[in-house]
Structures are given as structure tokens and as C-alpha cells.
Structure 1
Amino acid sequence: MTKTAQIRKNYRLIKLQKLSIASVLIGFLCAFLSVSLKRLTEHYEEILFHKASLNWVFFLIFPAFGLFVIYFLRQYLFKKKENKGIKEIFEVRDNANKKLPVYKVPSHFFNGLLTVVFGGSTGIEVSTVVASAAIGSVAQQKENLFNRYKTELICAGIAAGITALFNSPIAGLLFAFEVISKKITKAFALTTTLSVAIAYGFILILDEKPLFEVSVSNWHLHAFPYFLLLGIMAGIHSVYLTKSVIYIKNKFAAIKKHSIKIIFGSIIISASLLLLPQLYGEGYHAVKTIFANAESVVLTTSFTISLIGILLLKPIITSVTLASGGDGGVFAPSMFLGAFLGLLTALVLNTFFDANVIPLNFMIIGMAAMLSASIHAPFTALFLICGLINDYTLFFPILVVCLISKTTAQLLCPYTVYSYQPKTVQ
């Protein structure tokens, strides 16, 4: 072996070792951040939602208070920069000169936490994703050797964050590939696999429980055509969510004074929460309640109106939350909407068409279908939902319905909230 060949070999070995060490550290830090944010959010959201349930005045106070605190933090702590969600990651990925600064970690952590616990109708998933991506980006900036691996290290952070948040390493890997990277390189495989392994080991040590502990016994072949119908409906409804977010954000962007945005936004959020308290925060509390009682729910007139109200209002209140300064995205809203869309579909089929379908199955499949259609990532949605309930009984119907919902959504609207690019006037 020549001296030049030996130097190259040593360089590759050093590079591999450093990438491996960086991936392990990223995996641990992102898992720690993800679990911390999840536990804090669950704890304080439960406390504040309980307070508001006992005294409706808090439904008026909490949203405005949360949005004003977020604005204060942005102005005086986070360099007056608004969080753009996953679009920030795309901008950094596509521009060699752009980086995710380190302050994006606390910015998304605290803003995501405050948004949800004070009633903003979104979730912490996107906050976790961007904060995790920022950890990966910072690691890339600290070592000149990593300059060409910016996307891979960002994806390592994202994959670890998703793994810890949803208890699903496969969902973490697939999200990093389907939504962010769009390609697999050797460096991508190495960094994401190592970070995900560390993140998954971390949550196993902590004995993290699935978000929704449900028991799925089976599914019936006669329900399959109805599953397909649910997939088409989820695809259509996801477009309503996407269009709502984009339209309302554009309307709020025209309001120059931020205090007016907050006041106007908090009035809409508070009014919606007074009408339908299930819309508070992530809404997982409402989903858990329905999961526990899915088989005994009866389709009364008042319950039907509530379900339709949830399906129509959730995209609007989510859009208003984001447009008025809240931090988050469409992950949690999509799953929330999918659960209630699935429940309504099953109840209508059983009540009026004697279909004899299982409402719980439709709720689970609906969650996956809406998420798949909203982010155009069917395989991520498949493994993420199976990981959330820690059950793979519905694997095949979820796979088929996710593909159908995504295809339906793409036919109606080629972009998602994250990939939308506003038209520029020439």
C-alpha cells in the first residue's frame, strides 16, 4: 500500500469514528430533549386543562397568556426570529450556507411547550423535530470534517427525536428519509441508525409507555371496502387542513401589529375551546377518552353535531394558533382529526347501514390515514401509529389506507403545509 493510499484509509477511518461518536451523542441528546418535552407537556397540559374545565374563565385567559409569553421570549431572548417549523429544516438542507443556530433548541422547546399547555390547538411534534434537527446542525458546525454531512447529521437528530417521542425507531428512520432527506447515502444510514439505536435504548431504560394503550383484537375482511372509503375521506379532509393553515397564515401575515394578531387569535381560540373543550392543546386527552369508550358510543344527534364541529373547527383553530405566533405543526392535529373522522365513519356505517364494523379500528386507521395524507409520508404514518398503540394487528389495512389517503391528497393538492412554496410576483 502506498503512503497516499494509507493516508486516505486513515482519513476515512477517522471520519467514520467521528461521525459515529457524533451520532451517538446526537441520539442521546435528542432523545433526552424529546422525552423531557413530552413529559413536561403532558403534566402541565393535564393540570391547566383541568383548571379550565372547572372554571371556563381560564379558557379565555390561557390562550392569550401563552401567546403573549411566546412573543415576549421571541422578542427578548430568541433574536426576534419567528419559528417556521419544518420549513426551516428544508431551507438549511437546500442552502449550503444556511445553518440552524443553537438558540433554535430552547426556542422550539419552550415555545412548543407553552403553546400546547396553554391551550393552543397544535402539538409538540414539530417543535421536537426542529429542536432535534438543530442539535444535529450544531454538531455539524463544530467539526470541519462534517461540512459535507449537514443533512445526514440533521436527519440523525430528527430520527432520534421522533423515535423517542413515538416509541418507534422505524418511524424515526422513515420520517427522516420520506420527509427530510429523500435519499439514502452510506453516511445517512450510519448516522441515523446509530442515533435511533441510542434513542430507542434510552426510552427502553426509562420504560416509556405507548401514548395510547389500546387492545386491538382483530379486523374483519368485510370492513375492508369501508377502510378504503375512510382513506379517501381522510385524503380529502387533509387537504382542508392544509388549505386552512396556508390561507389563515396568509391572512394573519397581512396584520402588521403582532399584538393585534395575538388578541384576534386568542379570541378565536378561546371561543372554540368554550364551544368544544376537546380542542384544547394536542387533544390527546379527548382521543384517550374516546378510545376507552369506543365500543359503547352511540350516535346521538348532539354527539354527531359535536363530531362534525370538531372536524370543521380543528383545522381552523390549529391554523389560528400557528398564525398568531404559536409553535407547532400538523402532526398532532392530523392524528386527532383522523381519530374522530374514523369514529364518525364507523358510527354512521353501523347506525344507518348495519355494517357491524369496529369503531376502535376505524379510529386507529383514521389517525394513520390523516397523518399520511397531511405530510405525504405513508410509511412513516404506518409505523408511527403502530408504535403509538404498540400493536401491529392492523398493519396491512393501515398500509393500504395510508397509500390511498396520500394519493387522494396529492391528486387534490400536490403540496403539504411543509412543502408549500408561495408564488412570487415577477
Structure 2
Amino acid sequence: MAEAAFSEARKNNNLMARIQNVLPIACISSLVLGFALGGFLADLGEADWISSIVGFFDVVGTMWINAIRMTVIPLIVPLLIAAIAGSESSRSAGTIGVQTLVAFILLSVCYAGVAALSAKGMFSGLTLDQSVTDKLRASVHAAEVPTGDASVTTWFKNLIPINPIKAAADGTMLSLMIFAIAFGFASLAAPADARHQIVTACRTISSVMLVLVQGVLLVAPLGIFALTLVVGTKLGGAAFSALGYLISVQVGAAFIVSLGLIAIMVIWGNLASSKVFIGMINPTSVALGTSSSLSALPAMIETSRDTWRLPERVYGFVLPFAVSTFKPSTAYAWVFSTYFLSILYGISFGPMELAFAATYAALLNATVPGIPGGGMIAVAPLLLALGLPLEGLAILFAINPITDRTATAINVLSNLAVAAMLAAVQRQAFTEGSAV
């Protein structure tokens, strides 16, 4: 009986391993196929049967996103608490927090600085036909632009959750993370028995949730295909012909940044290049398919834990904290976007304006609201300060379904790179401490 059960479990593990090997290829194929089929349907027109197909896949894609979001809060809150409460001391947990903050500030400054220095060269080949410019300006009033209060004062006022349960229900992740971090540090001061029970309970919940997450990720190819098909039908070919240059700059910048992040993971993260490529496929596929770093968090955790074997105390803190706080890709995206709008509207944009845009983007990317089009809200004060018309938001929002996907992939890779680097730092510190 026991041997039969063991044999059955081994078969299940082998099957799961084979599925995991095929899953990355299936995700990438689904991404390409979804965009291609969506563009094909868009070219056919607006027949009722096409609307029915798009509506069906919209439901499928939304259901898959909801299934991922269902697991996020019960996964990351216990994981973050366990990572802090399970640390050797509050000093150890605080060190990881400071290192994470410094790492992301440096990344953002680097992204924004390079974008400011290269913007003029990147857009040197841009020539706008007058008719195209007129069409883009005419479309400003037709496009739907997100609205909301993105002021820094409002952001700080909402930082501390009045009711953590309500924050969880509303999905205000940063406020919830602050509560989880505070709870974790408070647990360090609790009696040893109580602290042990908290850590054990949180790790148990996280382990069970990871099993559920694996089940959701098994149907990722279907979810990604559905989402990209819907986006493809909405964009068609018009957006590419009018805004192709800006799209190519943003996508090209994301590709270059991704190469740099891969090099960081190999050199400073002490990871084999093969492991880096294998580990990044699932998280980036989810990011490209969903435009949501939050949705890619379970895949990031799975990569850090199972593929790269990073310490839980590192990835358990860095990844949830980073996903809910930092959007480093906006550091270069905002610089390129504002420079493009200055060309489009014929507004002078010299070194001082570029430097201001880079500083704003580097320091305030953490204020991006965690809602669709949130980056469009947060960049509004920058446009006003630079004398650019707010109507330009509509143009940025029109290409957001494409550029936001590559930007999200960069956010995901940035999170993984910081986790890998800090894990290497922790291992080195532990080795030096043991030698002493």
C-alpha cells in the first residue's frame, strides 16, 4: 500500500516536472499567437461573431487574472511576515529593508540618467508628417484618460492603513505591506514561543498558497492567449503606424535594460546564465501577458525559491515589498514619453528639462497608483511642470497597452535582479561571519 502510494506520488512529480518544462514555451507561443490572431480579427471588421469571440476570450482572460489576484494577498502577507519574524534579529531584517531601498533607488537613478542622456539621439530619426500630427492631436479629446489625485501629499496620507482588513479588501497593496512589515517587526519583540507560532503559521499558509498558485499557473498559456487576443483586436494596425516610433523606442529601451539586468544577475547575483534564462521565462511571460507585476509575483517567488534557491528571508521580503512599492521602469519611460510629447507639440526641451524629468521619474516612481493607467495619473504633474499639455496623456494612454507590457517585464526583472544581488550579499556576509 505504501509502495503504491509512493509510486503514484513519484509519477505525479514526474508529470509536474514535464509540464513545468513545457510551460515557458507554451506561454511565449500563446503570447505571440494571441497578438497575431487579435490583429487578424481587427482587420476583418466589427461583425457580431467577431465581437462574440472577443467577448468570450475577454471573460476567460479576466477569470485567469482574478484567479491570480485571489492568491496574492494570502500569499505575500504571510510570506513577508515570516521573512521578518523569522530573521535572526530586527537588525538583520532592517538591513535587508535598507539594502532593498538603496538598490531600487540606484536602479531608478541609473535608468532615468541614461534615458536623459540618450533621449535626443534615440529620437533623432523621428519625423512627423503634418497629417499624422493633426490626427494624433484630434484624437486627444476622443481618448479616455484616467483621472485621480496623484499628489504626493495624498499618497503619504493614504500610506498608513486605517483598517488593514479594509486595505486587503480594497487591494491597496502598499498600505497592506506597511502593516505586514510592522507586524513582522513587532513579532521580533514577542516571546520566543509566540514568535515561533507566528512564523510556523505564516510559513504553512504560504506553502499551501504556493500549491494553489502552481495550479493557477498551469493554465497560464490559456489566460495569456485570451488577454493578448483582446488587446490585439483593440489596437489593430493604426496605433503602430502613428505611434510606432515611440513604441519602438520604449520597447527597444526595455530590451537593452533587460540585457543589463541579466548581466547583473549573472555577475553580482552569482547565478549561472542558464539558470537566469530558465528562471526569468515564466515571470516575464506573465508580465508581458497581463501588464501586472502583482500577477507575476507568484511566478517570481517560484523562480526565486525553486530555480535559483534563494534564501526565503531575502525573496520573502524583497519581492512583495518591491512589487507593492517600486515601478523602476517608469524612470526611463517617463523621460522618453515627455521628450516625445515635446517634439509632437513643438515645445522646446533642452538639457534642463531632461534633467528635471529624469529626477522626477527616479525619485517619484514609487507614487504610481496600483490601478490600470496609474502611470498616466502620476506623470500628470511632470507634464504640467514641463509646460507640456495634459492632452498628451491621451496619446500616451493610447499606446499604453503595448508599452506597459514591456515596462512591467522590466519591473519584474528588476525585482528578481535585486533579490538575486541581495541573496549573494547575504551569503557572502554569512560566509565571512562563519570564517571569523
What is the TM-score when the length of structure 2 is the normalising length?
0.29
Greater RCO, CA 8 A, separation 6+: 2
What is the TM-score when the length of structure 1 is the normalising length?
0.29
- The higher radius of gyration belongs to 2
| More helix by percentage | 2
